[in-house]
Structures are given as C-alpha cells and as structure tokens.
Structure 1
Amino acid sequence: MKKLFASLLAGALLLAPAFAQQPAPIDGIAVVVDEDVILQSELDRAVANIRAQYAGRTEQLPPPEVLERQVAERLVLLKLQIARANSTGVKVSSQEVEQTINAIAAQNQVSVDQLAAQLARDGTSLPQFRESIRDELLVQRLRQRLAQSQISVSDAEVDAALAAQQGSGMQYHLAHILVAVPEGATPEQIATAQSKIEGVQALIKRGEMDFAAAAVRYSDSPNALEGGDLGWRSSDEIPSAFAEMVRNMSPGQVTEPIRGPSGFQMLQVVESRDASQAAPSMVTQYHASHILIRVGENAGAAEAKAKADTLHARLVGGADFAALAREESQDPSSQARGGDLGWFARDQFGPDFGAEVAKLDDGAISAPFRTQAGWHIVKRVGTRQSDVGDTSQRDQVRETIGRRKLEDEWNRFLREMRGEAFVDFRTVAGAGDSDAGEGADGTRDTSGN
C-alpha cells in the first residue's frame, strides 16, 4: 500500500505545477497527441519538477534537450492512457480521489490541510493535485482492466515455477537500460541501436558513469529518470533471457547487452536477498455473506446509499439475508449463492471490507458501509484459524508470474498505442522520433534509435 501511494504521489507530481511564483510565459502547444494537446506550460512544469527531484544531483541529468524529450514522451504516454481509459468507460469517482488524497496525507503523517499547504509552497493548488491524482487512478484502473481481461496463470505454470525454485527464495533488486528499436526496424537502425548500447556499456565498464546515471542519460525506458530502477524481483519475475545470468551475478554486476522485443537491454543486479518462505503460519479466516449495491450502475451515490439503508432496515425487521442477497445484491460472483463469500483472509477483499468484517461478532449483520466497489451489508457467519503456508506460497508464485505477464503485456500495449497515435512535436528539440536520443559518446543521435 505504501508503494501504491508513493507511485500515485510521484506520478501526480509529474503534472503538478512546480514554481508558480515564476512569471508565466506565453503559452503555446508543445505536442499534439491525437485529439489532445500538451501545452508548453505543462511540459515546462513537468521538466521543472524532474529538475527539483534531482536538486543537488543535476549532473546526473541528461542535456536539457534530451531531458525535455524524455519528459515529453512521458506526457504523451500519459495522455494516450487517459484518453484510452475515458474512451473505454473507465471511471474514477470523486470519492475515490478524496480517499486517495486522505490516504496520501495519512501516509505522510500530515492532515489534508497540511498537505495542501505543503503543495501550495511548491506552487501546486489542491484542485490541480486532485486532477493529477484522478489521472493516475484512471491509468491504474486501465492497467487493472487489462490484467483482468488478458492475464491468466495456470496451475501448471505455478507447479513449474515451484519446481524451478527448488527451495530457493532469492530475490534481486534490478535496474535496466533500454535502447529501443522500432517495430520493422531496418538493419541500419538495429546496428545503430546496438552500437549505442555497446557505447553505454563501455562508459560503465571504464567507470566514467555509474549505471543509474547512464540510465537517466541514455535509456529509452519510461523509468529512465528513476535510474532504470525495476525494484525487487523474484526469479519468476525476471525474463527468461536474463534469469540464468542474474542468478550467477553478484550485486553491482551488469549483464551483457541482450536483444529483446523492444530493443537492446542491460540489467544490473543492485542487491540480492534470500526471501525463503517462512514456516507455514496460522491466520484468522472469516466466513461471511454480503449484499452489494454499486454506485453508478443503476443509481448515484445518494440513491445507492438510500437503497442500502432500506435493505438494512428490512434485515433488521427480520428479512432473510440469503434471500435478500439473491434478490437485490449487485455482486454477480456471490449473488446466486445468497451473497456467500466463503472463507477468506481479512484483507482479501480490501482493508476497508476486512476491517468491517473483523468488527462483527459471528452471526451479526453490519450497518451499510462504503468501499470502492459500492455499499455493502455484511453478515459474518464464522471465524477459524487456518494453516495457509502452502496456499500462501502458491498464491505468491501465481501473483509474481501474473505480474511478469502483465508487465510484458502492458509494455506491448503501450508500444502499440504509441505506434498508432498521431503525435506532432511542435517545440521539443530533437523529438521528431520518440527513439531519438543522445549517443553514448555525448553526441546527438538523430537516426531514430
């Protein structure tokens, strides 16, 4: 959850104004993205925020025109994702935005008013921050929709991954550098890209630049400005082309360049750790049924709450919970079973839902309460202590395989969406092609690789 809020905060700040006290230049269109535009002021603010994040380390940033191109590409992808989310019916309610802002404030141990004051000191108004959070949530929901519709992990894949682990629980903190190659690249473009990554490799080997700084300056990956950081990965989450190499590497070592679907890559093992599974543990599980009234399907927020209140009154008056759930619940996965959710761990359906279930006594019915899914009424049936060690390990392996698949599919989705888009860079230097960059020798590479 902490990573989620940090990601939302970082993403939102990309679009948030950085130095409002500076005189505002005459605005203009920096980039045309299909039916939308990126204003020069948006681009300037985003670049200023990146520079602010690198205060005291500006020597790690690429030359101004390369940085501007990198940030412009980020904004292009963000615009495309938001447009796709809106066109496919992805919604984020105002209440969800406010809940996220409250959670970010709590994570930073400040009130919302204090968070607003802190943003204001940096030149960002709370309404602007709110809109940025909404955009970030839209993108996350678009990604979740892709995961639900495109990603599946079979039991056979889980079995194979468990067999491959052979008791090893090693995890690796990785970073990468990508030199992109466009689809249908010519032999000359491929050769230029290979020459570029070999030049970057030579700089790192000679000690003229560390890996993170090289990623910031030369990588074409969307996470270039984070030093190419990929975070912690288990063996199941590392592409097979790299997995065997990584297992035989020590922290600080860098792989040889490898050609992949999106271009040439190098990986660095930043750290490694043994995260072997602990002995099977006993956890509390709950058995409950619920009635769900969604917001926005057949009713707005007020109407949904009123309906939930009415149903709760009927239950208090003696109505049968299962019968009412079959009649009124809007959760298709449990409606036919009278709202029965079976046995589940406390946070399986989210922390808010779990907290409400945990407060009940067995046999008790909750008052209506709201989560992101809508308004719930819950009847707790029972509790038990369960040994979930083996199940937990399989679930974790399934999740890591799913994350790896989602990452591959999401990157393919972004490349496809970017390739199909009409993008016209009006003022961004050297950005006529999204793959244009600076050569490893410090010269500009305008070959499109």
Structure 2
Amino acid sequence: MNKLAPAFVLLTTLLAAAAPSQAQFLTPQPEQQQAAQTAAPDDGTLDRIVAIVDEDVVLKSELNRAVGQILAQYRRNPQQLPPRPVLERQVLDRLIMTRLQVAKAGQSGVRIGDVEIDQAVGNIARTNKMDVDQLRAAIARDGLSYEEFRRNLHDELLTQRLRQRVAQSTQVSDAEVDIMLAGNSLKSGEVHLAHILVGVPDGASAEQIQAAREKAERVQREAAAPGADFAAIAIRSSDGQDALDGGDLGWRRYDQVPEMFADLLQGMGPGQVSPAVRGPSGFHILKLVEQRAQGKQLVTEFHAQHMMVKVNELVSEADAEKKINELRRRIEAGEDFAKLAKSDSDDATSANAGGDMGWFPIDTYGPQVGEVISNLKDGEISQTFRSNAGFHFVKRLGMRELDRTEEARRTQAREAIQQRKAEDEFDNLLRQLKAEAYIEYRLAGYDSKGEPTGS
C-alpha cells in the first residue's frame, strides 16, 4: 500500500472538513430540508441536519465523514484530540466557514473550471509521487469518493482565490514603506510559529469575556509547562481555524507575522510560549517553535548576446536549424556577433541591440536558457538549442554578483505591509460573513447559536 505524503493527508483532511452538500448552489425548500433529515448516510443510520447556513445545510453524514478523516489522521495519537463533542463542534465550525467563503466567492464572480481542478489533482499526485490513478486509489482507501474529493478541491480552490482577491485589492504606498524602514521595525529572518486562540464571540458579555480570559490563562499555563505538548493542547483547546493542525502556522518571515504576534515575539526564544493576549477575535497564545537568520541578499547576474531563428509556416524546422548552425559557424570564424544579430536574428527584443540581452538574473528567460548560460565561460558560445519558438544560441559576456540587500529590504517591507493588511481585511471579511449570515446549530449538546447547553 502506498504511504501518502503528509501534504496529501493534510489536504484530504482539510478538504473533508470543507465538504459541501450536493445542493451547494440550490435553495433548499422546506420539503428538501425534510428529505435531507431522513436521507440515509453511509453508516445506514438516519441522516439529519446539524447546521443551517443561510439557504444551505450541513448534514450529519458530512460531519461524520469529516470527523472520520480527522480521527484517521490521528489514529496513532488519539490522545491529542479533544473529546468527540468538542471535535465535532470544531469541524462543524470549519464546515460553516467554508460554506460562507464558497458562497461569497460565487457572489464575487470567482469561478473554478474543470481544467483548473484537473491541474490541481495532477499537482497533488506529483507531490505524492503518484499518477492520477494511484491517487484515486489512495483517496478511496481513505474513505472518500473521487467525485467528492473533486468537489472539495473545487471549494478549496474557490476559498484560495477569494483570499487572493482580497490580497490583490490591498494597496501599499511608498510612504508606508519609508515609515516601516525608518522605524527599524522590519526584522530579518524567519520564525516557525504555533498558535492557540480562545475565542470571544462578537458582542460578548462581560461574563463571557471573563470566562474566556480565565480559560486562556489556564491553557497558557498548561502550554508553558515543561514538556507540554503544544500541538495536543491546541487541538483540544483552540478555537482557531488552525486548531486541527495543532495550531501550526508554519515558517514565516518576521515581517509576515501579524503585528500583534510580532509584539508577542519580542524577547522570546525557541520553545517559549507567550502570555495570553486579547485580540479582536479572542485571546491568543503563541509558541516560537524555531527561528533562523537571514543573510545578505546576493543576486548573480549574467550578460549575454543572443541569436534566434524562428520556426513558422514559412520556415521549416530543418531550414531554421540549418540557418542557426551556419550563423554560429560564421561567428566562430570571426564575424561580428552584433552585426549578424541585427541582420539575421528573429529575436525582436535583442536584435536591434546586436543581440545584447543586457544583465539579467539566471531565471529571467526560463530554466533552459539559464542552464545553458550557467554552463558557459565568459566569451564562450553555446551549442544551438531548440525551444518552442525556434533555434537559438547565446554567447556569455560576463557574470557578476550584486548585493541586493537594501533593495530586498524595501521589497520585503512592501510585502510585509501588504500581507498584514490583507490578513486583517480577510479576518474582517470572515467575521462579517459570519455576523451577517443566518446560522442555526442543531448539534447535540449545543443550542441554536452554538453555545454549550451543558447536557
């Protein structure tokens, strides 16, 4: 049996937790909701609605499948999971938020076609060193139908595209970049973080805020204790979207860390856990797992001349190859490269400059050209090679290394500001979607607003 790579396991888990009903874009009528309550799920028991989200529903069978994927992922470490009722509520919240994001993406005109889904499936297969047929077999062994997997992948791509749209809409001015750089607030290096959120609902009462504060302080003491398993505590106790991943936020550049988290990291060392700090969505606890430094930003650039003969309806492949070889022979015999490039090269970009490509980083013209130039010595002419456009050869004129640290810092500052703005805007969007939606919980042990009933 093939052992699935962690990336695949994580994806199938996340996608299972984002599984839509088959009537995703239909308006359920009362009789349809009644039918959904009595539909038979996979285990043969009567199905029922566990949440209503605007005009959509989440079924118990969907919740069971999503929870089943989580249980399968943690089958070797079941003690890391919270009690079944808490786990069901975490997964249900993720299902609900995915429903809202998918609906918002659709309203915003975001579309994902079959071609994009096919490409994503192919990428997942390659990541796991499989072909698509092997991937389908692995999905089946995980208890998920291929059709359901594709539907889930469609929704995952939709939510990613929605997040990208929010990010693309954020603007960063030069003045904001100047202020960040002048204030020396831009840190270099990267950090690996883990996170716990003890949520506070919108419009929470003083009693609810105090209860959340007490819980956060209790969780923080547990997480900061010597030998504590932060991931297991996050799975049991966190209300964050990353809870079922053990709160793992992965590696991020310092400048990509949200401002509030950056403040918490001040003075922390690897392995340390921050105090619980109040934020817009609740109380946050952060663990600095690892950190690594960032050195100078050195960029290698090449200077070259280029000759090209196109293959088209007027020039056959054989004729183009014959011509490029003749041009190379003439230059090797001593004719002037620049003069021949101006008269015979089909590269509109460089021909008028005598084939001069200027200085450029190795990946500017793609991996094929980069590999050819990197294997040459200064003054050496390459062998001819074929591309989609025609036949080429290049002459390497020089190589240099430039210190782009300051330029990189400015780019880094701009990206950091943009990411922080985008994350804030997306978090605000999620809170707005949830606040404006009609959400009714029908999960055992919780009232219609999702609050525990104590039963």
The two structures have a TM-score, normalised by structure 1, of 0.70
Whole-Å separation in 1 of the counterparts to 2:268 and 2:51: 42
Find out whether 1:389 has 2:408 as its counterpart.
no
Equivalence for 2:17: 14
Structure 1 position 152, deviation (Å):
2.1
Kept in 2: contact 1:69–1:431 (CA 8 A): no
Equivalence for 2:204: 185
Whole-Å separation in 2 of the counterparts to 1:401 and 1:250: 24
Equivalence for 1:277: 295
Kept in 2: contact 1:81–1:139 (CA 8 A): yes
Kept in 1: contact 2:256–2:416 (CA 8 A): yes
Whole-Å separation in 2 of the counterparts to 1:47 and 1:216: 13
Alignment of structure 1 residues 99-114 onto 2, 5 Å: 99-114=119-134
Structure 1 position 431, deviation (Å):
5.9
User: Which has the higher Rg, Structure 1 or Structure 2?
Assistant: 2
Whole-Å separation in 2 of the counterparts to 1:269 and 1:173: 6
Whichever residue aligns with residue 437 of structure 2, its letter is: A
Equivalence for 1:213: 232
Equivalence for 1:226: 245
| Equivalent position SS for 1:281 | strand
User: Among residues 62, 69, 85, which one is paired with 1:65 in the alignment?
Assistant: 85
Kept in 1: contact 2:300–2:361 (CA 8 A): no
Residues 122 and 239 of structure 1, relative CA distance in 2, 3 Å threshold: closer
Which whole-Å deviations, capped at 9, do the CAs of 1:97-116 have from their partners, x for residues lacking one?
A: 10111111111111111111
Whichever residue aligns with residue 92 of structure 2, its letter is: A
Which whole-Å deviations, capped at 9, do the CAs of 1:385-411 have from their partners, x for residues lacking one?
A: 784724444333432332222222211
Kept in 1: contact 2:177–2:413 (CA 8 A): yes
User: Among residues 76, 79, 86, which one is paired with 2:96 in the alignment?
Assistant: 76
Kept in 1: contact 2:9–2:73 (CA 8 A): no
Bigger RCO (CA 8 Å, 6+ sep): 1
Instruction: Tell me whether 161-170 or 246-255 shows the greater mean CA deviation.
Output: 161-170
Structure 1 position 82, deviation (Å):
0.7
Which whole-Å deviations, capped at 9, do the CAs of 1:114-143 have from their partners, x for residues lacking one?
A: 111111122222222111111111111111
User: Among residues 48, 53, 67, which one is paired with 2:73 in the alignment?
Assistant: 53
Equivalence for 1:420: 436
Identity of aligned residues (%): 43
Whole-Å separation in 1 of the counterparts to 2:212 and 2:93: 19
| Equivalent position SS for 1:172 | strand
Residues 235 and 134 of structure 1, relative CA distance in 2, 3 Å threshold: same
Whichever residue aligns with residue 278 of structure 1, its letter is: K
Whichever residue aligns with residue 157 of structure 1, its letter is: E
Kept in 1: contact 2:301–2:359 (CA 8 A): no
Whole-Å separation in 1 of the counterparts to 2:360 and 2:9: 28
Residues 343 and 112 of structure 1, relative CA distance in 2, 3 Å threshold: farther
Instruction: Tell me whether 395-404 or 407-416 shows the greater mean CA deviation.
Output: 395-404
Residues 116 and 27 of structure 1, relative CA distance in 2, 3 Å threshold: same
Whole-Å separation in 1 of the counterparts to 2:66 and 2:159: 18
Find out whether 1:401 has 2:401 as its counterpart.
no
Structure 1 position 343, deviation (Å):
10
Whole-Å separation in 1 of the counterparts to 2:438 and 2:302: 53
Kept in 1: contact 2:19–2:95 (CA 8 A): no
Residues 388 and 417 of structure 1, relative CA distance in 2, 3 Å threshold: farther
Whichever residue aligns with residue 298 of structure 2, its letter is: P
- RMSD, aligned CA: 4.1
Whole-Å separation in 2 of the counterparts to 1:92 and 1:3: 25
The number of aligned residues is 371
Kept in 2: contact 1:72–1:428 (CA 8 A): no
Structure 1 position 188, deviation (Å):
1.7
Kept in 2: contact 1:175–1:269 (CA 8 A): yes
Residues 346 and 127 of structure 1, relative CA distance in 2, 3 Å threshold: farther
Whole-Å separation in 2 of the counterparts to 1:30 and 1:263: 25
Equivalence for 2:176: 157
User: Among residues 240, 260, 273, which one is paired with 1:254 in the alignment?
Assistant: 273
Structure 1 position 417, deviation (Å):
0.6
Residues 286 and 200 of structure 1, relative CA distance in 2, 3 Å threshold: farther
Unaligned runs of 5+ in 2: 21-40, 306-311, 317-357, 374-384, 390-394
Residues 168 and 423 of structure 1, relative CA distance in 2, 3 Å threshold: closer
Kept in 1: contact 2:13–2:66 (CA 8 A): no
Which whole-Å deviations, capped at 9, do the CAs of 1:235-262 have from their partners, x for residues lacking one?
A: 3223334424413111111111111111
Whichever residue aligns with residue 44 of structure 1, its letter is: N
Residues 25 and 240 of structure 1, relative CA distance in 2, 3 Å threshold: same
Structure 1 position 210, deviation (Å):
2.7
